[in-house]
Structure 1
Amino acid sequence: MSGTVQARFHPAGFDDELRTVLDDVRAGRWRSMSELLRRCPTWGIRTSRSQVLAVAAAQGDAVEAWLQEDRDANAVMMRARVMTQRALTAHRAGRRDGGVLADLAWKACLEAARNWPVDPVPWVCLVALAQLDSPEVSRRRPEHRLPAPEYNLPPGPWGFLHEADQRDRGNREAWHRMIQALKAYGDDVHDVARWICTWAPAGSPLLLLPLYLHAEHYGKQRASGSQTSLYWNTDPIAYYTKRALSRWFRYADPAAWSPLDLNYLAQALFSGGLTTEATPVFQVIGPFATPEPWTYMAEAPERWLEQFERARRRCLQGAAARPPHPARRR
């Protein structure tokens, strides 16, 4: 893709079908959403599509209208999705009704899980809701402080994660939600991310988890004036950056690529001085930039797109200036 393509953010990313359906959902229409979810080829794609749809649907009544006419498994699942999204939004805004919304979402997730037992999405939602629990261990739901599968990892909602993982091994959102819950409890999650990378197979987006944590850490430290760009050249950050390139980017199914994962990898490669390696990642991203992780690198968060464009331009211009590979010369 050309480096001159205007970058923008769109929640649907590469998914053209989802982009069209989102317009319907925002207008209160549900039939195209029903059809799209019915045709998802994998659990992973169904998980990611339902997450994006829920963000839009939570601001309207499309799912409620759907349930009035058709209470199929996808409608019940999307109710759990929407209620989970509303609870998360209320919690982030510090609203007083956050706890009530979380309880309602919890019940909706359990109903969805009973309604279609093979579906991983209700369990993913339960992991997401776990981050809303009290950071104080004594006040936390027992389901949210189960022992970890490894002795040196913190307790958490491992049971819910196990249920999601049994239905869709390595479900991307489920593991990201697990990291969010543990962070909300005040746990150090770097060891969790490193442990995940010891068993995540080639092509798994879980191999990028360390990059998410390092980008967020860099942003916080940089904001306080205690971090420099040399951060990205240090071990083990450089190690996990190169490993994500070699074990994820070069093996992953392009149909399942997340623009967010691609942007995190491109940023880590660029920030680590690996502009040649970053070039094909930027080419795949095309116009689909995401605010994170560029907000952590920009002079001001609202200037994240400038930071993305600057990095992409440098990489793509550098590639154009490099001589062709000898084997390709005519």
Structure 2
Amino acid sequence: MTPPPPPFRFTRGKDDVAFDPAFGDDELITARAALAQGRWTDVRALLARTGTDWDLRGHRMVVLGEGKSASVWAQEWQLAEPESPDAAALTACAAVFRAAAGKQSADVAREACMRAARMAPSDPTPWLCLLILARRTGTDDEQVRAFDQVRGRHRGHHHGHHLMTQCLAERQKTDGDDPFHEVYEFAEWAAGEAGAGSPLAVLPLVALIERYRVLAVEGALPSDPSGLPYWTSSRARTSVRAGFGWWLEWQGGSSHPRLALDLNYLAFGKFHSGDTVEAAALFNRIGSQVTRVPWTYPDRDPKKAFRAARNYALGFGSS
């Protein structure tokens, strides 16, 4: 008897996975292309439509601000419309990424964020940008203050919680895998506070993965996580199970702009803890949309790592 075909099929060509921080937001992709050509009015219209959906606004602002020419065109927009909070926020976000890349003073970027925050007191986005800046160039206290301001304006802010988890995971880099490390306590607290149905249910798994990456970079753990006891511990299994439970409940519900990131974390956790059947379901849902996190192992190309894990989980063997 001829065996049935595999349940999922993916091409195995070199270009079968892609990274784009826009995560399939077509309106954002269109506006980003327009901004690169100097058409900031398209961005103005996009942000006006986004309104006070703070998670979506933060996601879109960060993706736009990362663009190579974003700073130039955002400043032109601000000159044309000096009272626009959106123009001020985009200028600030672009300044943050320039400062993080060493192309601009962190103090200048910080002041741009504060100016944007004063123009829109209820908007967590300028504070999100300050948190990005603090993670790259600031102190532990500056990270906490910026996060508190984000959370004070939107208690379930997805990007803000992920950033703070990364900030905490990066502390005490060489002390080994401390089960009482502050990142675990933070993630469990935040997930509990968020309540049922929140994507922040994935945070304990994010904490585990981010802490692993820090220890791997420092050489305290192997750079390839496959088959390590780290992923079969009770903490790991509880974190993976909680995150996967959220995803099962989410199916058929409303999406959120950074869903692809959560699914990548879940696929990572399921795959490395040995649950390849459920990992395959996640890979099928993700499709070709790989994210840099959490597939960026030390000294390993994220697309190749994602492709190898996906193909193995789907029964094609490693590539």
1:288-307 correspondence runs (5 A): 288-296=289-297, 300-302=299-301, 304-307=302-305
The Cα of 1:66 is off from its aligned counterpart by 1.2
Which of the numbers 62, 81, 86 marks the counterpart of 1:51?
62
Aligned length: 288
Can you give the 5+ residue segments of structure 2 that lack an aligned partner in the other structure?
A: 1-6, 173-180
Q: Does 1:82 align with 2:94?
A: yes
Q: Which residue pairs with 1:152 in the alignment?
A: none
Distance 1:165 1:188, change over 3 A: closer
Letter in 2 for 1:14: G
Q: Which residue pairs with 1:241 in the alignment?
A: 240
1:99-138 correspondence runs (5 A): 101-131=105-135, 132-134=137-139
TM-score by length of 1: 0.77
Q: 1:194-226: per-residue Cα shift (whole Å, max 9, x none)?
A: 222232223323222232332244345556374
Could you tell me whether the CA contact under 8 Å between 1:26 and 1:60 is conserved in 2?
Answer: no
Distance 1:226 1:179, change over 3 A: closer
Which of the numbers 61, 66, 72 marks the counterpart of 1:61?
72
Give me the whole-angstrom Cα distance separating, in 2, the residues matched to 1:191 and 1:114: 32
Letter in 2 for 1:312: R
Q: Which residue pairs with 1:274 in the alignment?
A: 275
Can you give the 5+ residue segments of structure 1 that lack an aligned partner in the other structure?
A: 136-143, 146-155, 319-330
Could you tell me whether the CA contact under 8 Å between 1:58 and 1:85 is conserved in 2?
Answer: no
Give me the whole-angstrom Cα distance separating, in 2, the residues matched to 1:246 and 1:217: 22
Could you tell me whether the CA contact under 8 Å between 2:264 and 2:290 is conserved in 1?
Answer: yes
Q: 1:51-84: per-residue Cα shift (whole Å, max 9, x none)?
A: 1111015665111121122231211111121122
The Cα of 1:110 is off from its aligned counterpart by 1.9
Distance 1:231 1:127, change over 3 A: same
TM-score by length of 2: 0.79
Could you tell me whether the CA contact under 8 Å between 1:207 and 1:244 is conserved in 2?
Answer: yes
The Cα of 1:192 is off from its aligned counterpart by 1.6
Q: Which residue pairs with 1:260 in the alignment?
A: 261
User: Superposition RMSD on alpha carbons, in Å?
Assistant: 2.8
Q: Percent identity?
A: 31
Q: Which residue pairs with 2:176 in the alignment?
A: none
- Per the alignment, in what secondary structure is the counterpart of residue 209 of structure 1? helix
Could you tell me whether the CA contact under 8 Å between 1:127 and 1:177 is conserved in 2?
Answer: yes
Distance 1:306 1:129, change over 3 A: closer
Give me the whole-angstrom Cα distance separating, in 1, the residues matched to 2:113 and 2:101: 17
Question: Which runs of structure 1 show a deviation greater than 6 angstroms over 4 or more consecutive aligned residues?
Answer: none
Could you tell me whether the CA contact under 8 Å between 2:71 and 2:95 is conserved in 1?
Answer: no
